[in-house]
Amino acid sequence: SSTLSRTRSRSLSRLTIPPSSLDTTARHASAMSNTPREDPQARVGTVLGGRYKLLKVLGEGGIGAVYLAEAPDRSRVAVKLLRAEYTTDPETRARCDREARVMTSLVHEHIVRAWEFGRLPSGDVALVMELVEAETLRSVYSHSRPLQPLIAMEIARQLGGALAHAHAQGVVHRDLKPA
């Protein structure tokens, strides 16, 4: 059986990811850079835990990939999978567990919702999230330089609201990106 856990009902009052854990992961990632990486595309079509069918790769990061997936109720979700070479590293696993706990505890209109996370019988570490179908900030900026003041103000308002909510929960986000 799957060890993905539904965590929407859990509440975390204070959690701050220390910079040291992020630095350690970065050092570990660079040390592992000689390890051949699996092709995320090879996972498309597989079903995780008998529940989430991976449909396509949405993006890749340093330690994982994000997929468009179909849930058992036929809805679309995003699934973040940790790269195989990181699933056995205790420091990276701990950081991902903290990230997942934080994400499942934050509920705000401008923060992606996360519903489930855990290790599957296959050894995969997965985070199941809300699928947000919208233009990225990077894309908006690439075709709207310079940003119109009203657009820039609206982006700042939404980002500020999300960060204020996270900060009120004791979470400090140290990795903001426009994508």
Tell me which residues are annotated as active site.
Answer: 175
Q: Do β-strands 64-70 and 76-82 pair in parallel, antiparallel, or remain unpaired?
A: antiparallel
Residue type for 80, please?
A: K
> Coil, strand, or helix at residue 69?
strand
Cα distance between residue 11 and residue 16, in whole Å: 14
Cα distance between residue 35 and residue 33, in whole Å: 5
| Phi, psi of 123, rounded to the nearest 5 degrees | 100, -10
> Coil, strand, or helix at residue 70?
strand
User: Rg for the chain (alpha carbons), in Å?
Assistant: 17
